[in-house]
Structure 1
Amino acid sequence: MIKIIKTFILSGINLVKDKIKAFRIYNLRSKKESDVKRWKENDQLFNDWNERTLLLGSFIQIDSKVIEFGAGNMILETLHFKRYTPTDIVKRNPKMLVCNLNEPITIDLSGYTAAVFSGVLEYVYDIDAVFSEISNNIDQIVLSYCCSDNLNISRIKNGWLSDYSKNELETIFEKYNYRICDETQWRGQTIYHLKRKG
């Protein structure tokens, strides 16, 4: 009986937590703000995400000059690219540059040949604006995205701030003159390897 009561209380607490989180995400979405509070917490970085990031990194030549957006624990540094610059919404490491992709990018991108977005674009409202800012300099992009029409899960529960379909995303790639060189799946997320045409 006590076990049943504990289970009931815990389920009630979890339900309240989920509702508070959903309210916070709806509020962020209504204001088009980033979830800085969440990403200040290091327990939001999961080690199993490294598999996805290393998969993305496998598409990039070792002599590339790489900038990673949403670098988290900087696992790509272990691949020893010619140049590697990690960025994130909060500064987790002295090497890391702060970059909020829901605001204009102020980093000079002219020295980079490749950009990585591993599990970050779901937290970006306007992916078109991001591509607009990077497309003049970056020849190669590798990214993951959980397309809204490919996986039936709660985007609010995951804290995601954008809802692009596969077609909408690929239309952006085409608009900025990127072709899809490789496409695969990772846990229901689409992995894209893009290169500038011509």
Structure 2
Amino acid sequence: MSESIANAISALGNIIVAGSAVAAAVAAFMGLDRWKKQSQWEQDSSHARKLLLALRNRQDAFDHLRARFVSASEMQVAVDLLPKIEELPSQDFAFNAAIDMRINNMEDGLAEFYTLIIESDVIWDTTLEQNFRQMRKVEQDVFFAHRELERQRGFPDDYEHNLKDNADHYTKTAFGDPDDDIGVKYCHHSEEILQTAKSKLDRV
């Protein structure tokens, strides 16, 4: 074999080796990139699931707070959670206790939900806190309406004198269905949170 042919074969071998090394480097880089994307998706989807669950729990608690029907068993549970009183509680007292329990259930989950919202804005560069604050405004309107109706049940004479003109407004705010004006407003403010979290469940 001539020297020129040997040199050509050697050069070709070097090219093949170099090409293999480049190919391996590219494959490794692509594999690392896929791993990074997979890892990021796993983190995003885990956080999104927590946020979706917290949002659903809050929406359910809000709908329950505005439900008109309060069962005798729910009132009994609420009364049992209060300090013992000697006299038998009235129907209005038990009803107020049940509503207070519903409000407390919502407030108990507030810190966790707000923390998830703030984390979302940090890691996803979103503005979900604005939606949260709009949701919170609706919740507080409902809380206030319930407090005013409690005054009606606890002090009917005072209510008749001072609050009669607002009775219908407070009742429609405190109690209702998910498809009434208050329910639709609440759902509207939570929709951006819902869609943002759901989008993070899609694989890249």
Q: Shorter-chain TM-score: what band?
A: under 0.3
TM-score when scaled to structure 1?
0.27
Q: Which structure has the bigger radius of gyration?
A: 2
* Greater relative contact order structure (CA < 8 Å, 6+ sep): 2
- Between Structure 1 and Structure 2, the one with more helix by share is 2
TM-score when scaled to structure 2?
0.26
- Between Structure 1 and Structure 2, the one with more strand by share is 1
